[in-house]
Amino acid sequence: MVDLSVKIGDLTLQNPVTPASGAFSWEYADIIDLNRLGGLVAKTICREPRFGNPTPRMAETEAGIIQSIGLPGKGINYFLENIVPEYKKFTPPLIVSCSSEDPEEFAVLTKELSIPEVDVVECNISCPTRNTTGGNFSLNSEHTKSVVGKLREATDKPLWAKLSPNAGDLVSIALAAEEAGADAVCIANTFLSLKIRTDNFKPALGNKYGGMVSPALKPIVVRMVYQCAKEVKIPIIGIGGITKAEDVVEYMLAGASAVGIGYAGFRNPSALTSIIDDLEAWCDSRGIERVSDLIGAVDDDMEMDTLNAASAGV
């Protein structure tokens, strides 16, 4: 039987499969056994209550969806009093995602969240729909470094930084997060998108822009994880387009130590636990003893002679 556990810094996850922030809540216990997950990742919370963005908040696209929720929530107090206890009914580590447009407030929020019940603070510095130009710190390595540095000072908890796929040079952003003291980077949040309806010439979402989510995007994010894994030393949580155990394997081969899953749980609410089952079966059938052996195990030593390559069979 394969050992599915992975380590993210000092924290051990019983397996590498976690839900993605915003795509999960304790309410999924209505259908799956949350105690089987690698971690419990709460929806990004903000310090003050927020309504979030205007509806419609989701539109289907050619292949996937764009969505713009706008981080609605009842604020930190409600979260600590009412939501944390819900998660604490389950055993996997609690990873709390949080966000703010103001670095000072962000640090205070991080500090307030650093209670014993919380195992990891994940800073969402990449929500594409809050502010498409500034504020989204992880579009810029200086901003990333400065905000992550402030949060690092504010907490002793493991600090994970969730990065944006909309940044051009993601490697430099990941390096900045590492340098500023992040214990892990989550790659990636959603792709900034726009859908315009041709019937009424209006944007399809209430907030105009939305973040795209789709299995289609997996090869782009796998590339980002691979590039970053070559440069940073801290663990990477790969997030984007995972719908089956082999996708988890692919992310791990590229260099991820764990993964986050959103869309698949929308499409198939029983997906997360079945992906864990499948991952176990996949490893066992291949005689893999520790799933952590897959991390970065891509065989990327390539034949680079075009003519040789093109004389091989299909």
Partner 1 sequence: MAGHVIEDSYSTAAIRIEDQDPEPSRPVGEFICNVATNDWVNDEYKLISLDVHEKALTAAAGQFFHLLCPSPDGAEVWMRRPMSVYRVDKQNRRVEFLYKCEGRGTKGMSTLEAGDEFNISGPLGIGFWLKPEWKNIVVLGRGVGLATLAPLSQLASDQGVGITAILSARNPDVVMSRDLFQSYNADIIEVLDTDGSSEVSNVERIIQSLIGEGKADAFFTCGSNRLLNLMKQMGKKHGIPGQVAMEQIMVCGFGACYVCVRTFEIDGDRVLKRVCREGPVFNMEEAVGW
Ligand X SMILES: Cc1cc2nc3c(=O)[nH]c(=O)nc-3n(C[C@H](O)[C@H](O)[C@H](O)COP(=O)(O)OP(=O)(O)OC[C@H]3O[C@@H](n4cnc5c(N)ncnc54)[C@H](O)[C@@H]3O)c2cc1C
Give the three-state DSSP class for 239: strand
Beta strand 191-194 with 209-213: parallel, antiparallel or unpaired? antiparallel
200 binds partner 1 (CB under 8 A): no
104 binds ligand X (CB under 6 A): no
CB of 97 to partner 1, least distance (A): 13
Nearer to ligand X, 304 or 314 (CB): 314
Q: Name which position in 7, 35, 49, 63 contacts its own copies (CB under 8 A).
A: 63
Instruction: Find all residues with CB under 8 Å of 233, minimum gap 6, and list them.
Output: 178
∠230-148-81 over CA atoms, to 5°? 120
Nearer to ligand FMN, 113 or 239 (CB): 239
CB of 105 to ligand FMN, least distance (A): 17
Neighbours of 175 (CB within 10 A): 20
**Measured CA distances, 147 to 25, 28, 133, 142 (Å):** 27, 32, 16, 9
Element (H, E) at 153: helix 141-154
Cα gap 191→169, rounded to integer Å: 15
Q: Is 228 a catalytic residue?
A: no
CB of 53 to ligand X, least distance (A): 17
Binders in 121-180 for ligand X, by CB under 6 A: none
231 binds ligand X (CB under 6 A): no
20 binds ligand FMN (CB under 6 A): yes
**Contact code string over 266-305 relative to its own copies, x by CB under 8 A:** ----------------x--------------xxxx-xxxx
- Residue found under tokens 């500090």: 111
Neighbours of 27 (CB within 10 A): 9
Q: Name which position in 15, 17, 22, 70 contacts ligand FMN (CB under 6 A).
A: 22
Binders in 52-91 for ligand X, by CB under 6 A: 60
Q: Name which position in 198, 267, 285, 287 contacts its own copies (CB under 8 A).
A: 198
195 binds ligand FMN (CB under 6 A): no
Residue 162 binds what, of partner 1, ligand FMN, its own copies, none (CB under 5 to 8 Å, by partner type)?
ligand FMN
User: Beta-strand (E) ranges in 20-158?
Assistant: 40-45, 58-61, 64-67, 94-98, 120-124
Q: Which of 162, 62, 144 is nearest to 103 (CA)?
A: 144
282 binds partner 1 (CB under 8 A): yes
The residue type found at 66 is: I
Nearer to ligand X, 60 or 142 (CB): 60
Catalytic residue among 127, 186, 228, 283: 127
130 backbone dihedrals φ, ψ, rounded to 5°: -80, -50
Query: Can you spell out the DSSP letters for 83-117?
Result: IHHHHTTS-SPEEEEE--SSHHHHHHHHHHT-STT
* Residues making contact with its own copies (CB under 8 A): 51-56, 61-64, 66, 70, 132, 139, 166-169, 191-196, 198, 200-203, 206-210, 212, 214-220, 222-223, 226-227, 241, 243, 246, 249-250, 253-254, 282, 297-300, 302-310, 312, 314
* Residues making contact with ligand X (CB under 6 A): 60, 314
